[in-house]
Amino acid sequence: MTAIAWPWPGSTITRVKDGDSNVATVHRDLGFHGVATFSQNMRLNRINCPPKGTDVGDQATAFVVAHTTGVLVDIETTGAYKYRDEWMAEVTLPDGTNLSDALVTAGLALYWNGQGPRPGG
């Protein structure tokens, strides 16, 4: 079964839990003059950040806050996360940068496919 990606353009990150988990308010035009707006727990796809409370984990959290506060982002959910009520998500910043890739480039996260032990924390 192939995962279906759902686009949520013009969304906002309303709470950063840690470097790779957040709460977003997403919007979806339903047509017929209707828009769905709701909050959803999200986990950044393809990466793992060290936990909050560690030096790098706190830096990752601050990085996400600095890059998402007060801006609209495009979110694409790629499927349910294996734990809790979270959805895996790709987040594109206003300049076109993928947030997961930016965290890895900054040395604040490692790529991870969700299988096996989590790298870096």
pLDDT, greater one: 83 or 64: 64
pLDDT tens-place string over residues 24-48 = 999 877 778 788 889 999 999 999 9
Q: Select from 1, 28, 20 the least CA-distant residue to 86.
A: 20
Q: Kindly report the pTM of this predicted structure.
A: 0.89
User: Per mean pLDDT, which of 26-30, 99-103, 112-116 is the most reliable?
Assistant: 99-103
Q: What is the C-alpha to C-alpha distance for residues 11 and 7, in angstroms, rounded to an integer?
A: 10
Tokens of 110: 């490692």
Q: Name the class of domain 6-111.
A: mainly beta
pLDDT at 107: 96
Q: How high is the mean pLDDT of the chain?
A: 90
pLDDT digits (tens, 9 = 90+) for 66-77: 999 999 999 999
Distances, alpha carbon 3 to alpha carbons 12, 20, 82, in Å: 23, 20, 14
